[in-house]
A = this chain, B = another copy of it.
Amino acid sequence: MITQKAKYALRALSALAQSEAGEPMMISEIAAQQKIPKKFLEQILLDLKHQGIVISRRGKQGGYLLRKPANEITFGEILRVIDGPLAPLPCLSLTAYRRCDDCDGEQTCEIRHVFARVADATRKVLFSTTIADAVAQPEGAEVTRLMA
């Protein structure tokens, strides 16, 4: 399961992607629209800002904007900065590799092969799907896809 925080982050970014381009969107606006606790959302957006995903304007008329076009922000990228490593095992993480100290060797580890395939499969989806894809699928998504 992904965390609630990651879910909020993805929904907040979706909200930004659908907001008027160039116009900052306020935390309180996003919170209300997406039913996210406001103070929690503050932290999340701050994280995303520090990670270079969004930019902000302070003071009156302030708010948040996407830093890159929505079709350049992948789900994988967001999950990684919010929830940490995507890999199912520490020894399979590209960004936070850690040896399993209770297993004898990665070549002989019985379960590593299997989860390597899981990791590949999920990465394939997560890094090929962007915030733009998400907001482009309000309903009848499959149909839209097939027709495109």
Contact across chains for B110 and A134 when beta carbons are under 8 A apart: yes
B111 touching A14 by the CB < 8 A rule?
yes
Question: A14 CB to closest chain B CB, in angstroms?
Answer: 4
The answer to whether A115 and B2 touch across the interface, beta carbons within 8 angstroms, is yes
Q: State the oligomeric state as a number of copies.
A: 2
Assembly CA distance A62 to B121 (angstroms): 41
B121 contacts A137, C-beta separation under 8 Å: no
Cα distance, A63 to B114, chains bound together (Å): 27
Contact of A7 among B11, B111, B135 (CB under 8 A): B111
The 9 closest A-B pairs by CB, nearest first: A121-B121, A110-B134, A14-B110, A35-B102, A10-B111, A118-B125, A117-B125, A114-B129, A2-B88
> Chain A: residues with CB nearer than 8 A to chain B?
1-2, 7, 10-11, 14, 34-36, 75, 85, 87-90, 100, 102-104, 107-108, 110-111, 113-115, 117-118, 121-122, 124-126, 129, 133-135, 137-139, 141
